[in-house]
Amino acid sequence: DVNHQISSTTISHHVAIKTRNIENAIKFYSLLGFQVESKFVAGPARAAWLLHESCGPTNSNNDDSNNNYPRSRIELLEVPSYMLNEPEGMQKRAINLSKREELLGLNHFALDVTNNIPRPNNDDCASADGTACALYQLQEWLDDLNALSIHKFGKSLRVALSPTKRIIGRDVYEMAFLYDADGALVELLNHSGRLKQEMKMD
């Protein structure tokens, strides 16, 4: 008999994304602050773990000195060309889940970009919906990110959903969706304010 209590300290380790070209995928996620932690082989596939820069410096020795940092990892898995079996002149892409609402399972993952967006110093500067009246918000940050992508890699970002506001409880978020290098959905969230009272749902 199992008499001891099972630990509930499970945490998220990584989200895995398949790609047709691992180097292009690494470039895309570098724009969002992810750096290569390690490269390896998984069966027939080239693979890599990407660690977000907010988790502290990456190192190749698997040193545990950064364990106090919350981990935010992506695992990239490159699908070999013989498995893709692409017709000549055509590149396969991920299913566009923004247009396939009937499909079950994992839909997207989300990144909180709030700390990338400057906040007004005056807390009284807020609109009726509780959001800060900053001139630089999620759209402006995306514009800068797109300019960086063009400058570094000669490619524009592909936007699945332009920034829009959503109220969850008392918190007000700006949210947007990008397609990554292969068409997988990535949500970007900016916590832009907090309401004085929770919105009532009918």
Angstrom distance (rounded) from CA 129 to CA 133: 10
- Estimate to the nearest angstrom the gap between the alpha carbon of 72 and the chain centroid: 10
Lowest mean pLDDT among 14-28, 69-83, 113-127, 181-195: 113-127
Q: For tokens 């008392």, what's the residue? A: 170
Give the pLDDT band (50/70/90) at residue 202: low
Give the pLDDT band (50/70/90) at residue 121: low
pLDDT at 78 over 90: yes
pLDDT confidence of residue 185:
96
Per-residue pLDDT tens for 138-197? 999 999 999 999 999 999 999 999 999 999 998 999 999 999 999 999 999 999 888 887
Among 169, 175, 180, residue whose Cα is nearest residue 192: 175
pLDDT confidence of residue 49:
97
Contact yes or no for 22/48 (Cβ under 8 A): yes
- Estimate to the nearest angstrom the gap between the alpha carbon of 82 and the chain centroid: 29
Q: How many CB atoms lie within 10 A of CB 106?
A: 11
pLDDT confidence of residue 71:
73
Rg (CA), the chain: 20
Q: Which two tokens stand for residue 37?
A: 């932690």
Per-residue pLDDT tens for 34-60? 999 999 998 889 999 999 987 655 554
pLDDT confidence of residue 29:
97
pLDDT confidence of residue 128:
46
Residues contacting 71, CB < 8 A, separation 6+? 11, 12, 13, 51, 55
